[in-house]
Structure 1
Amino acid sequence: MADENNHENGAVCYARSSRSAALTWTTLAFFAGFAGVSAFGPIVSRLKESMEISAVLMGVLSASPSLTGSLLRIPFGAAVDRMGGKKPILILLGLAGAGIIGLALLYALFPEPTAAQFPLFLLAGILCGCGIAIFSVGIPTVSYWYPQKKQGAALAAYAGLGNLAPGLFAMLLPAMVAAMGLKFSYIVWAVFVLAVFVLVMLFMKDAPYFQYREMGIEIDEDALIHACGQELLPSGAATDSLKKAGASWRTWILTYFYFINFGGFIALTVWFPTYWSEFFKMSIINAGFLTAAYSLSSSLLRVAGGRAADIFTGEKVALFSFAAVIAGSILMVLVEKSFALALLGQMIMALGMGFANAAVFKLVPRYTPAAVGGASGIVGGLGAFGGFVIPPAMGLFVAISPTSGYSNGFVVFTILTLAALGLLYVLYRYPPAEGNVL
């Protein structure tokens, strides 16, 4: 056990590993799993041409990783209380690795895939998305290791660094495809994921509570706090917390906010490669770099948004964020083939979504104080489902108008976010008992 987990009173902690090591391995696992968002984004235009599928099906294929990545967050996040975080992470990484290997095999067997192979590619994409659900496993895993006064910084590092994966892979994957071809690019990616799987299996350790339980040592809460520094313990009441959170109308408003902004973040990470390559006729490499500019900026701005929410309140940051998303989406609709305006609109949306994602989780304990854990699971899990729903909705505009549809599709965000402004007012109008803070 590292010195950082032994305390001055002489008490001995029998758990192995350390907080920093646990944070490192959990963050690396999330980074590797979250990269699945970009499974199809950089090359979906190629698949569309060879398969001859509609823009709507193209959107479904692009977003397929987000389906499992969102829906699996709730059950796997709840499973941490029963089995710790290591086993759920290994299961999700294993499934994601199987999906990436499946894509490599499909490209080897079908160099020019047709519509007949669409279900197989869809299945592979769904498996790739399993790794995205590691987010909800990592939050309690890291929280159990760290004392409450240090959880904020640890969770910010975990979420911020892990969220960089889609942007980096949106940039790297097209370059790899151009240099090595589709099949070998996905083989390299699969090797990376499987290497992380092996490293996590060998070196990651669950928080002291779970190690004590596995060793058959009687668990004394005071001893865990004094010897190991583990203040937060599994409550065993995850189901009750989910029920209580689900019964609150405020939970569903916050879920809608996250549906637009984090779901939208995922949706645009898979949509922008196609947008830049089809609407502006750019190479997949340049489209990948522009997508990375959006994704990386939004991820890093989420950290700044969290600090702003601490200073100005979550409501005010949400109001600013929604206004930015509306402004950016309107600009994208009115772009008319101007690269400069399109890039400006993209970056304004990155600003709005990055700040909004931080603001939503600032609002969760504010509006659902009696069921923070359950509300976080619902908001994080179902909110991420927007990454699956929004791309096909944007694809409808392309189906109607194959050229202007790529810009007109951003009206989806304008409409959804205008509704969010109205719901934000409802939250302000009917606050919790302690009164308005906006």
Structure 2
Amino acid sequence: MVSAEDLKKKYGLKGDPKEGLIAATLGFFVGFAAVALYGPTAKEFKDVMGLSGTLLGLLVAIPQLTGSLFRIPFGAWVDKVGGKKPMLTLLALSVIGMAGLTTLLILYYPHGLTMEMYPLILLFGALSGCGVATFSVGIPQTSYWFPQKRQGWALGTYAGLGNTAPGFFTLLIPFALAALGLPGAYSAWFLFLLAGTIVYAIIAHDAYYFQLVKKGVPRDEAIKIAKQLGQELFPSGKLVDALKISAKIGRTWALVALYFTSFGGFLALTTWFPTYWRLFHGFDIKTAGILGGVGFSLLASFIRVYGGYLSDKMGGERTAIMSYTLVLIGAGILTISTSFAPALIGEILIGAGMGIANAAVFKLVAKYVPEAVGGASGWVGGLGAFGGFVVPPILGAFVDAFGELGYARGFIVYVALALMSITISLILKKRYGHEIH
């Protein structure tokens, strides 16, 4: 019998599952940092350009537009060509966006940065936000490398580590800003993104099946060889059908609404909290970055792992009801609070609730849409993340309407979203909880 190493040498195959996981996680981490593109530095843009609350909200949200909408088509593309080409395409678009933004800041900040440049800054933000969509590429890219029995560990590691990027960047950007100034901070970020993209291009390899197909090996033979090398999952070519099937199932859209609140909310508040702490509570940029990065973003990212454990133990419906109740309480406190201590408690509660809920929703996807899990995951992940783009301008509109107090009153949006999500979770539990297996 031919050994695995001999097979790899015969067909010129590269990589292994460990290297595949490292590459996918690197690509996701590097690209996903764009969630925090404008949030920590929003005050600087607001001051020099004279932005209204609504325009400020749109600015911090714009990376989430491409970052959410590109998830579905680029995730589907992986089944055709493997993960490397889609990931590199998204990272390259992000590099172009960061290059444009950095050049603009070097040439025109601060005095030349006027409202006339606002559309261009939005465009560069949208391009940079393409990196946010790497999540949907890295998930199947990682899955194809690992056997079924190690999927949970591999995907948990991938999502857990990569998801921390916005929190770390929310923490680091204020210190870079203080040391290097706004153009220097974004120049450093651009170099990090460029270096990460280059390293990914060098170390990333598609799973064996995709390498074999690219070398001209027929599909059936490629599957046979890849199976000998340990690969268990293969593209079925049915994702478009799965998207169509899942779109016709009402439960899919219920889960989209839940994820809109939790993950869309996570993306939105990752960008909004640094602005909230600076402009409403008057903290300096470093303190605001720590409060937003640790108190919310990193907390929500790390507690997502515990959310998966709770969902296994308590069931996804009960976990969702509990977690959205935490969001409701946290949002309620933030809405009425004007002092620091209650606001911090509210932030911690809303962050914990969103992190746990993110895990609970995906626990329910396989249960409620078993006939089209891939398609449902695409709708839930892509359209749910769209909340990161929709909500910040609404929060900004509250600032325009109520003045400084609007930074607090805007959290009423999350009170409403949490109530909606609790209601949906209760209906799902009552109507379908015991019917679907």
Name the TM-score, length of structure 1 as normaliser: 0.95
The one of 33, 43, 47 aligned to 1:35: 33
Question: Is residue 2:386 matched to residue 1:357?
Answer: no
Cross-structure match for 1:201:
201
Cross-structure match for 1:300:
302
Residue range with higher mean Cα deviation, 380-389 or 401-410? 401-410
Partner SS, residue 237 of structure 2: coil
CA distance in 1, matches of 2:276, 2:223: 56
Deviations for 1:184-234, whole angstroms, at most 9, x for unmatched residues?
211111111111111121121001110110112234376346411111100
AA of the residue aligned to 1:258: Y
CA distance in 2, matches of 1:189, 1:436: 47
- What does 1:21-420 correspond to in 2, within 5 Å? 21-112=19-110, 113-218=113-218, 219-220=220-221, 223-224=224-225, 226-293=227-294, 294-336=296-338, 338-420=339-421
Is there any run of 5+ residues in structure 1 with no aligned partner, and where?
Answer: 1-5
CA distance in 1, matches of 2:183, 2:405: 33
Q: Is the 8 A contact 2:31 2:91 kept in 1?
A: yes
CA distance in 1, matches of 2:6, 2:353: 48
Deviations for 1:357-412, whole angstroms, at most 9, x for unmatched residues?
00000000000000000000010001000000011111111111111110111110
CA distance in 2, matches of 1:53, 1:191: 28
Q: In the superposition, relative to structure 1, how do residues 226 and 67 fare at CA in structure 2: closer, same or farther (>3 Å)?
A: closer
Partner SS, residue 17 of structure 1: coil
AA of the residue aligned to 1:91: T
CA distance in 1, matches of 2:81, 2:423: 41
AA of the residue aligned to 1:162: G
CA distance in 2, matches of 1:157, 1:75: 24
Q: Is the 8 A contact 1:224 1:231 kept in 2?
A: no
Residue range with higher mean Cα deviation, 423-432 or 249-258? 423-432
Deviations for 1:101-148, whole angstroms, at most 9, x for unmatched residues?
111111112212121111011011101100000000011110111011
| Number of residue pairs the alignment of both structures matches | 428
Partner SS, residue 89 of structure 1: helix
CA distance in 2, matches of 1:225, 1:79: 20
Q: Is the 8 A contact 1:104 1:182 kept in 2?
A: no
Partner SS, residue 404 of structure 2: coil
Question: Is residue 2:7 matched to residue 1:12?
Answer: yes
Q: Is the 8 A contact 1:428 1:436 kept in 2?
A: no
Q: In the superposition, relative to structure 1, how do residues 232 and 226 fare at CA in structure 2: closer, same or farther (>3 Å)?
A: closer
CA distance in 2, matches of 1:356, 1:230: 32
Q: Is the 8 A contact 2:317 2:364 kept in 1?
A: yes
CA distance in 2, matches of 1:47, 1:198: 30
CA distance in 2, matches of 1:58, 1:81: 38
Residue range with higher mean Cα deviation, 211-220 or 35-44? 211-220
Residue range with higher mean Cα deviation, 43-52 or 125-134? 43-52
Deviations for 1:21-62, whole angstroms, at most 9, x for unmatched residues?
010011011000000011100111111121112100100000
Partner SS, residue 370 of structure 1: helix
Q: Is the 8 A contact 1:101 1:186 kept in 2?
A: no
Q: In the superposition, relative to structure 1, how do residues 79 and 395 fare at CA in structure 2: closer, same or farther (>3 Å)?
A: same
CA distance in 2, matches of 1:165, 1:329: 24
Report how far residue 426 of structure 1 moved. 2.1
Name the TM-score, length of structure 2 as normaliser: 0.95
CA distance in 2, matches of 1:266, 1:430: 30
Cross-structure match for 1:430:
431
Q: Is the 8 A contact 2:144 2:232 kept in 1?
A: yes
CA distance in 2, matches of 1:225, 1:205: 14
Q: Is the 8 A contact 2:40 2:170 kept in 1?
A: yes
Residue range with higher mean Cα deviation, 79-88 or 111-120? 111-120
Q: CA RMSD in A?
A: 1.5
Deviations for 1:49-101, whole angstroms, at most 9, x for unmatched residues?
21112100100000000000000000000000111100000010011111111
CA distance in 2, matches of 1:202, 1:33: 16
CA distance in 1, matches of 2:326, 2:436: 23
AA of the residue aligned to 2:42: V
CA distance in 2, matches of 1:351, 1:212: 44
Q: Is the 8 A contact 2:212 2:222 kept in 1?
A: no
Cross-structure match for 1:3:
none
Is there any run of 5+ residues in structure 2 with no aligned partner, and where?
Answer: none
Partner SS, residue 404 of structure 1: helix
Q: In the superposition, relative to structure 1, how do residues 224 and 430 fare at CA in structure 2: closer, same or farther (>3 Å)?
A: farther
Report how far residue 261 of structure 1 moved. 0.6
CA distance in 1, matches of 2:331, 2:161: 26
Deviations for 1:263-320, whole angstroms, at most 9, x for unmatched residues?
1001000001110000011111111111111100100000110111111111111011
CA distance in 2, matches of 1:99, 1:38: 14
AA of the residue aligned to 2:164: L
CA distance in 2, matches of 1:429, 1:320: 15
Q: Is the 8 A contact 2:209 2:226 kept in 1?
A: no
